[in-house]
């Protein structure tokens, strides 16, 4: 089965047609900038452009960087607040003219890593964290996802953790790898105290340079490994969600088509 996977991020919107059985892209991915302000209609327009540029007709899976329940976007920490309460399933269904499924971006990335990447065969408590514009989380036990965990927003020193330790925070405050890794280590210690995972998979754009920071995460008991699908996990997980009746957004919205 083939599906178009679209990954909506704070800076870019990426898409590729995916073979859901293998997790492989059918053609090279495309990326467009996230429009600013990142309002629903502007983003739906980019989603439409990407669908058209692949001449796509078939299921479309779309990730969103916020809580998604039953196709409705409930939070939008790094996108426009106008997203709160939007029926994204219906909006994107109309924009693409195809059946769509919408889910949280980190949940999508986590499912892809558990199926094709660093989490294959892991039955214990696994926490996938994505470091990008924000910090996304996906929690698994015995391979089953608890959707919409928002562990990027735990408070550290009175501040939202992602404001201190996301990749964006590294760039914004011009932090060295060492300094930023120290913040990530402190963040992981908090998370470990709450969840005691066996394995932590670290992903997001910054996982491409894992050798610069993962070896510096020394304060954690859990095994820490970089994501294997790197920044493509969101696209793969989005496409996979279309094939499952039990998608991470629970009952799910199918949108139009």
Q: By Cβ distance, which residue is nearest to ligand BGC?
A: 134
Query: What residues contact residue 175 under an 8 Å CB cut-off, 6+ apart?
Result: 169, 183
Token pair of 92, please? 């994107």
Residue 105 vs 113, nearer CB to ligand BGC: 105
| Smaller CB separation from ligand BGC, 122 or 249 | 249
In whole angstroms, the minimum distance from the beta carbon of 21 to ligand BGC comes to 26
Provide, rounded to whole angstroms, the least separation between the CB of residue 109 and ligand BGC.
9
- Is the Cβ of residue 29 or residue 168 nearer to ligand BGC in the bound state? 168
Least distance from C-beta 257 to ligand BGC, angstroms? 26
Q: Kindly state the smallest distance separating residue 85's Cβ from ligand BGC, in Å.
A: 15
Question: Among residues 13 and 99, whose Cβ is nearest to ligand BGC?
Answer: 13
Q: How far is CA 209 from CA 127, 133, 185, 213, in A?
A: 20, 16, 16, 7
Which contiguous run of DSSP H or E holds residue 65? none
| 54 vs 151 by CB, closer to ligand BGC | 151
Tell the smallest beta-carbon distance from residue 58 to ligand BGC (Å).
26
Angle, to 10 degrees, between the axis of helix 40-53 and the axis of helix 88-96? 40
Residues within the interface to ligand BGC (CB under 6 A):
65-67, 75, 77-78, 104-106, 130, 132-134, 136, 150, 152, 162
- Yes or no: say if 44 and 95 are a contact pair by the CB < 8 Å rule: yes
- The burial of 125, by beta-carbon neighbours within 10 Å (0-12 exposed, 13-18 middle, 19 or more buried), is given as middle
Beta strands 155-156 and 159-160, pairing class: antiparallel
Token code pair at residue 69: 């329940």
């Amino acid at each position: 089965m083939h599906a178009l996977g679209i990954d909506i991020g704070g800076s870019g919107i990426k898409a590729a047609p995916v073979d859901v059985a293998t997790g492989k892209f059918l053609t090279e991915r495309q990326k467009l900038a996230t429009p600013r302000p990142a309002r629903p209609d502007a983003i739906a327009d980019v989603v439409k452009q990407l669908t058209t540029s692949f001449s796509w007709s078939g299921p479309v899976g779309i990730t969103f960087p916020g809580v998604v329940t039953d196709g409705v976007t409930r939070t939008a920490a790094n996108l426009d607040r106008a997203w709160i309460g939007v029926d994204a399933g219906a909006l994107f269904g109309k924009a693409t003219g195809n059946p769509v499924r919408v889910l949280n971006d980190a949940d999508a990335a986590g499912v892809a890593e558990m199926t094709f990447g660093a989490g294959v065969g892991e039955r214990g408590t696994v926490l996938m964290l994505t470091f990008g514009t924000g910090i996304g989380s996906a929690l698994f036990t015995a391979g089953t996802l608890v959707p919409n965990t928002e562990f990027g927003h735990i408070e550290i020193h009175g501040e939202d953790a992602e404001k201190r330790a996301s990749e964006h925070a590294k760039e914004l405050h011009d932090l060295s790898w060492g300094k930023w890794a120290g913040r990530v280590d402190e963040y992981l210690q908090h998370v470990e105290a709450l969840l005691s995972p066996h394995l932590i998979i670290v992903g997001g754009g910054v996982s491409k340079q894992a050798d610069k920071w993962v070896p510096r995460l020394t304060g954690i008991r859990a095994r820490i490994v970089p994501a294997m699908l790197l920044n493509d996990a969101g696209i793969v997980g989005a496409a996979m969600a279309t094939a499952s009746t039990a998608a991470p957004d629970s009952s799910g919205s199918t949108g139009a088509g």
